[in-house]
Amino acid sequence: MKKIIFAVIAILSLAACKPNESEKSNPKIDSLTAIINERDASLNDFVNSFNEIESNLDAVSEKQKIISSYAGPKGELNKDKKERINAEITAINELMTKNRNEIDALTKKLKGSKNKNALLEKTIASLTEELSKKDMELISLNQQLALLDSKITTLNTLVDSLTMHNYIKSKIINAQTADLHSAYYRVGRKRELKNEKIIQQKGGVLGVGKTVTLSENFDNSKFTAIDYTQTTTIPIDGNNVKIITNHPTDSYTLIEDKTKDPVITSLAVTSPEKFWSASKYLVIVKK
pLDDT digits (tens, 9 = 90+) for 97-132: 888 888 888 777 777 665 556 666 777 777 777 877
Rounded Cα distance, 73 and 75, in Å: 6
Question: What per-residue confidence (pLDDT) applies to 89?
Answer: 80
Map residue 26 onto helix, strand or coil: coil
Question: What per-residue confidence (pLDDT) applies to 204?
Answer: 57
Q: Which parts of the chain sit beneath pLDDT 70? A: 1-44, 71-79, 112-120, 143-179, 203-209
Q: Which residues contact 229 (CB under 8 A, 6 or more apart)?
A: 181, 272
Question: What per-residue confidence (pLDDT) applies to 186?
Answer: 95
pTM recorded for the entire structure: 0.43
Give percent helix, percent strand, percent coil of the chain, each to the nearest 5.
Answer: 55, 15, 25
Question: What per-residue confidence (pLDDT) applies to 69?
Answer: 76
- Pick from 66, 123, 70: nearest CA to 92: 66
List 243's β-bridge partners, or say none. Answer: 284
CB 203 within 8 A of CB 227: no
Domain positions in the chain: 2-180, 183-286
Question: What per-residue confidence (pLDDT) applies to 250?
Answer: 95
CB 84 within 8 A of CB 70: yes
